[in-house]
Amino acid sequence: MKRALYLYVKAFSDFGSMMDTIVLSSLILTLTNSPYWLSGLLLMGVAGGSASALLSGVLADRYNRRTLMIWSDVLRGLCLLLLLIWPTPVVILAVRFVNGCLSSLFQIGFQSEIPRMFGEDRLVVVNSRIARYRSVSMVLGFLCGGTFAVLLGYRWVLVLDTLSFLLSAAALLAMKWEREAGQGQSKQKESLGRSFAGAWEYLRGNSVLLTVLVVGLIDTFGSASHNLGFPLLAELLDAGNQAFVYGCIWGIWGVGNVLMTVLMPKIPRLQERLIPFYLGCTVLMSTGFILTLSSSSLVPVLVFAFLTGIFDAGSVTANGMIVQSVENHVRGRVVGVATFLGQFGFGIGFVVAPLLVDGLGLAKMVWVLHGVVIVSTLGAIGKYRKFRKINPTLSA
């Protein structure tokens, strides 16, 4: 199987996962009629991803990443099938947590292996396509999840998602690519403590990369504000058509995402200027979210959401490429650290954001959280410029 075709297979798997999110949210609300259970469902996915991220990074450096990806796909599919037998709130939360762990393992293995699967000289093109397909999958998955659940029932949606995981596993099984000689063999006897210490020593010696990871942590903290804020904004704009307006906001944001992923491969020497590109996009992205959620009518909301989607795609894609650029022997652990920080920041943001909404209101909550992102990123830009003065040969 051609490796480029796998990106479509993964996009289909992402599409199934988005539908799964909608269906499980609806199912647990139907079973419990409680927003606390719904919050628990959302937090379980984040908790699972956080709990397994660091260990997944170690496993990605010790063992064959392709094998880890295959097993994580198979186990995610089997976990979903449990809900066909025991569709209870407790089992739903347990499956969500386990699949959060397995999703983290898959993503860390996949992100770490992209340079070897597709070639380091094609990172801009491949990552742009991955981000583009992910955006399309997210928008279509959100739109189709509820529709398919009504037409077919939640069981068939879960079966479809299971099949998408098994298809991904089968496609990976059919693919072959060169594995770095000796990868993992010298580390399998190394303790977990020494593995983590090795990753920390690597990051301590790379201040620029460590700065990027810290910005990523703060960025995901701020992102909780718009994930919570968009449905609230849609309610304020048109309470009678809240779901439609909510879908329109994410949809136009997705169009902006797709546009940036088309433009990125056309930007000359982007791979050599990833860090300033990432930091600049992050500032503009957070500014866009503030403007979007501070608007009081639909037209400016959609305009700002479109522009924000452009810079959001640039920020997320460039961040992934920066992390992928580290040496292969430590790449899994660095991706694991980045994933852990992202999940942790997102979880903390979801704790803080509702409290700020209650105390300050929607617009001020977004100003506070994304304001923190902007100020922190501007500080990182200043720090990066100092690095460049000390080391003018710093290419990224």
Supply the pLDDT for residue 252. Answer: 86
pLDDT at 188 over 60: no
What six digits make up the tokens of 2? 């051609």
What percentage of the chain has pLDDT greater than the value 90? 23
DSSP state of 350: H
Rounded CA separation 106/118 (Å): 17
CB 89 within 8 A of CB 96: no
| Greater model confidence, 288 or 362 | 288
Task: Tell me the H-state helices in the chain.
Answer: 3-32, 35-62, 65-85, 89-118, 123-152, 154-174, 192-204, 207-237, 242-263, 274-293, 298-324, 328-360, 362-390
Give every CB contact of residue 119 below 8 A, 6+ residues apart in sequence. Answer: none
Rounded CA separation 330/328 (Å): 6
Give every CB contact of residue 213 below 8 A, 6+ residues apart in sequence. Answer: 203, 323, 337, 338, 341
| Greater model confidence, 326 or 312 | 312
Rounded CA separation 367/348 (Å): 17
The pLDDT confidence band at residue 342, using thresholds 50, 70 and 90, is confident
Q: What amino acid occupies position 379?
A: G
In whole numbers, what is the pLDDT of the chain averaged over residues?
Answer: 83
Q: Where are the domains of the chain?
A: 1-125+152-177, 189-396
CB 289 within 8 A of CB 227: no
pLDDT at 391 over 70: no
In CATH, the architecture of 189-396 is: Up-down Bundle (1.20)
CA distance to 140, 223, 238, per residue, from 234 (Å): 19, 17, 6
pLDDT at 180 over 70: no
CA distance to 42, 98, 234, 351, per residue, from 48 (Å): 10, 6, 29, 16
Task: Please tell me whether residue 182 adopts helix, strand or coil conformation.
Answer: coil
Supply the pLDDT for residue 372. Answer: 95
| Greater model confidence, 388 or 134 | 134
What pTM was computed for the model? 0.77
The pLDDT confidence band at residue 182, using thresholds 50, 70 and 90, is very low
Query: What pLDDT, in 10s, does the model give residues 211-236?
Result: 889 999 999 999 888 877 887 888 78
